[in-house]
Amino acid sequence: MKDILADRTYKIDASGIRKVFALAASLKDPVNFSIGQPDFDVPEELKQVAIDAIKNGMNSYSQTAGDTGFNEKISKQVTQQFGWENPSTIVTSGVSGALLLAFMSLINPGDEVVLPDPYFVIYKHVINMLGGKCVFVDSYPDFKLPVQKIADAITGRTKLIILNSPCNPTGMVYSVEETKAIAEVAAQKDIIIMSDEIYEKFCYDGPCPSIADYYKKTLLMNGFSKAYAMTGWRLAYVAADECLQPVIEAMTKLQQYTFVCAPTPFQQAAIAALDYDMTDYVKAYAKKRDLLYDGLKDKFELNKPQGAFYAFVKAPGANATEFVKKAIENNLLVIPGSVFSEKDTHFRISYATTDEKILKGLDILNSMA
């Protein structure tokens, strides 16, 4: 039978994260350290805003770029935070939707995208699907931003540099010094930086620097899935200084023919979320971070996570995938690092679960060390 699938479908693989997530459904009460989803629910006040919006008939399409009031609020917030004048914004169906629209708007076949390794899984596969070339820059073993290596990796075909801080999967937060340094590198070469800041609220040891503070040619992405537990609501936004207005316009045009718009009633809840204090939730996750790190540091090699809700742990032995298979046999779900990296030496833990589950998972892991 003639192959009926488009060539691009062979340039991507099924998500390793979703594979483990599906596996969880077949196990009896596993310790699930696999999925990056908050274990708390959407705050009641924000739920009520969405419920009221539904009841009040706000169930039709919004404007393609999102509710006008929502965009105005995002724009005002971005201006106050970064000093951008007349920023352009678009509301998207999650940061994943934003990434797809941005990559489709910017990447031609053969264009190179420089990104630190490890990296969030979606970057690699969508870039490959569009015919771009990923240029991976090794950040092992400390997972700090490898500024000089990134500078050395830039060529005449480089279209983008991708930053993700706080980082999935490592939990690292790039420092002010690192962020300023990469801004200088990008400015010298006049390259756009795409900054995925979905975990921006989860910074445990101090402020979370943004490249947008130092570089106007930044495509800033943020969303509501992680900080407000709205993972199923699919809401995010992209903001850019007026120098990147054509990118936002192109993303909006593409959204007309793809997602159409983000879910309308949930946009109202997101407007309210911009003013909602999540401090207590973040403090609880800082305690989870400490519980996990203190429980592993004596038997495993890992850097203390500074943000997000992940730890990237070096697996005993030479092959992390084999270690993960053994963990699953012990009813513990973790993700092999090869899902996020060109190496297979580490595994990712999500500590977005109950303290009871964290303690149970620590017992299993330490028994395997």
What is the 3-state secondary structure of the chain? CCCCCCHHHHHCCCCHHHHHHHHHCCCCCCEECCCCCCCCCCCHHHHHHHHHHHHCCCCCCCCCCCCHHHHHHHHHHHHHHHCCCCCEEEEECHHHHHHHHHHHHHCCCCCEEEEEECCCHHHHHHHHHCCCEEEEEECCCCCCCCHHHHHHHCCCCEEEEEEECCCCCCCCCCCHHHHHHHHHHHHHHCCEEEEECCCCCCECCCCCCCHHHCCCCEEEEEECCCCCCCHHHCCEEEEECHHHHHHHHHHHHHHHCCCCCCCHHHHHHHHHHCCCCCHHHHHHHHHHHHHHHHHHCCCCEECCCCECCEEEEECCCCCHHHHHHHHHHCCEECEEHHHCCCCCCEEEEECCCCHHHHHHHHHHHHHHC
pLDDT-derived band at 28, boundaries 50, 70, 90: confident
Architecture of the structural domain at 7-42+278-368: Alpha-Beta Complex (3.90)
Dump pLDDT digits (tens) for 163-183: 999 999 999 999 999 999 999
Q: Would you state the pLDDT for residue 89?
A: 98
Residue 282 pLDDT: 96
Say which range, 154-158, 219-223, 279-283, 315-319, has the weakest mean pLDDT: 315-319
The answer to whether 128 and 122 are in contact (CB under 8 A) is no
pLDDT at 330 over 70: yes
Question: What confidence category does residue 256 fall into, taking pLDDT thresholds of 50, 70 and 90?
Answer: very high
pLDDT for 2 equals 60
Domain 7-42+278-368 identical in fold to domain 60-273: no
- Asked whether residue 148 carries a pLDDT value surpassing 90, the answer given is yes
Does 10 have pLDDT greater than 90? no
Angstrom distance (rounded) from CA 286 to CA 165: 16
* Per-chain mean pLDDT for the chain: 94
**Average pLDDT score over residue span 335-351:** 96
9 with 312: CB under 8 angstroms? no
Burial of 265 (0-12, 13-18, 19+ CB in 10 A): buried
Tell me, what's the pLDDT at 20? 63
- Contact call for residues 13 and 338 (beta carbons, < 8 A): no
Least confident of 90-104, 111-125, 322-336: 322-336
Residues 145, 203: Cα–Cα separation, whole Å: 16
pLDDT at position 239 over 60: yes
User: Is the preceding omega at residue 265 within 30 degrees of 0, hence cis?
Assistant: no
Is 142 a residue whose pLDDT tops 70?
Answer: yes
CATH number of 60-273: 3.40.640.10
What proportion of the chain, given as a percentage, has pLDDT over 90? 88
Domain assignments of the chain as residue spans, ordered by start: 7-42+278-368, 60-273
Q: Which of the residue ranges 5-19, 38-52, 115-129, 193-207 would you say has the lowest mean pLDDT? A: 5-19
pLDDT band at 295 (very low <50, low <70, confident <90, very high): very high
pLDDT of residue 369: 86
Share of the chain above pLDDT 70, in %: 96
Mean pLDDT score, 173-197: 98
Length of the chain measured in residues: 369
